[in-house]
Structure 1
């Protein structure tokens, strides 16, 4: 089977079509604008594919395969963004040897548009993260990490706005509480701000002040904590805030076959997606906008 046909079959087979759930029904037409969001999380320095004898992950992943897949999708729809939800570093000897330079160089070659910062991205300290920034030809967003008095100050923005084919897309980042998870000596003076308060502010800025048609949160908070249900997570964030259309998550290595539909505090539907870890899957969510900017969506996780 040709790779393109395989991708199309897989996407159709596991597509989530949002209709009657707050987002508009999926009815593409000649006036429809399609925006594709591709995303990864918790790749953890996995450059090579898994071997043929490692169980369920055998013969999956690898940067080269992901690159081919991304390029195939971009050819089908040039209106594509590629995002990462953090924990780019740590997990293979590549990180131990190159300190993160290889990961950033390869992501730049794959033309990532934006990423947020995970807890393991501090594993070589905040100074080690800063040292690798010249290798990243993409930007980082984190709205709830205050980097004042650190080397990362002014190198991380709270949000970024993309304008693609008449559609305005606002993306902001959120990071997990570092205290108790990462040694203080590694993240130094980085301050953690409340994700719910920050999200309410970010959604107001992006949705109302900046008039974004699509608001995306790049989150490294974790999908959900069964043993600590009140702990801040993507699911809890979604139900207690408004204005977000999509949360792209990380940290908990949660493998979702398709996005979860969640009602926000206003009772409106929005999406949460996370594609596990190690570059095994690539998330793909297509948003369709009609002439009045009403939107519908379908999403899937594609095995690499």
Structure 2
């Protein structure tokens, strides 16, 4: 389905009521008084792929890698618009790099790229809770998770339920949620991880951010896109929240062509986007904020990242 057909069908379904998506060329129009633009860049499920996929990786050969991601991020930031860089978890994986550095290399790469917020996935716990806490402490990269109580673990001082980020005159609230881990991983001390209902905690945290008068509320989710059995997912959260504007998803490795938009409990809309896996893709959402219309989504794209060939 091409972009025009998608937008026409979405409007017919009534999903974009109150949300405007304008052509990409509108970004080139002269900036109006009292307008602020915000670009959200996001990744998920990198799985320790610091380097591009090898030449024997079929369709994925030469895709991904931190260098190509860095190049694209710098290109977008160079335009001078306020930009946020986010990750929805599983930056670690079953790779030689993770085996060698136990997550420190992956976190350090995220730090050097200038990530503003991230959450955790189940693979990030592969080396154990104590190891994860050690790497977070060493790199200063503190994850955002609101639906776990880590009080009785080494992570107790190395996470935050939410963060508020300022860009120009904007106040951006970011929270994070993680799927139930107990049936996903087997590590020492897992019994001390206390899972809290993701929808309940996300709503509670988003309400705090709304009370703090955040201009946009973003949830970094490692729940997964949606499931036939109706278990907790991004779709379930999107339909059952009050004031989350955007859910940046992970875990199910979906290469979205366009975000999905759901009507939430307050009769507003929650957008869900996901950017595949392995660092192959990076999502981009562009918003404009005005004094009169508050916020509009004006462009979306998911960018495939490929290694630059030597001249």
State the match for 2:225 in structure 1. 223
State the match for 2:111 in structure 1. 108
CA contact under 8 A between 1:150 and 1:188: conserved in structure 2?
no
SS, match of residue 271 in structure 2? strand
CA contact under 8 A between 2:199 and 2:240: conserved in structure 1?
yes
State the match for 2:250 in structure 1. 250
Q: CA shift at 1:289, angstroms?
A: 0.5
Report the Cα distance in structure 1 between the residues aligned to 2:21 and 2:291, rounded to whole angstroms. Answer: 14
CA contact under 8 A between 1:168 and 1:213: conserved in structure 2?
yes
Q: CA shift at 1:157, angstroms?
A: 0.6
CA contact under 8 A between 1:219 and 1:250: conserved in structure 2?
yes
Report the Cα distance in structure 1 between the residues aligned to 2:173 and 2:292, rounded to whole angstroms. Answer: 18
Q: 1:299 to 1:188 in 2, by over 3 A?
A: same
Count of aligned pairs = 290
State the match for 2:270 in structure 1. 270
CA contact under 8 A between 2:137 and 2:158: conserved in structure 1?
no
SS, match of residue 192 in structure 2? coil
CA contact under 8 A between 1:123 and 1:186: conserved in structure 2?
no
Structure 1 unpaired stretches of 5+: 1-11
1:227-242 equivalences under 5 Å are: 228=229, 230-242=230-242
State the match for 1:213 in structure 2. 215
Residue deviations 1:253-274, cap 9 Å, x none?
Answer: 1110221111112332221001
Report the Cα distance in structure 1 between the residues aligned to 2:281 and 2:5, rounded to whole angstroms. Answer: 13
* The one of 37, 54, 58 aligned to 1:55: 58
CA contact under 8 A between 2:182 and 2:190: conserved in structure 1?
no
State the match for 2:153 in structure 1. 150
1:23 lines up with 2:19 in the alignment: yes
CA contact under 8 A between 2:48 and 2:106: conserved in structure 1?
yes
Moved more, 281-290 or 134-143: 134-143
1:56-205 equivalences under 5 Å are: 56-183=59-186, 185=188, 187-205=190-208
SS, match of residue 139 in structure 1? coil
Structure 2 unpaired stretches of 5+: 306-311
CA contact under 8 A between 2:144 and 2:162: conserved in structure 1?
yes
Q: 1:56 to 1:14 in 2, by over 3 A?
A: farther
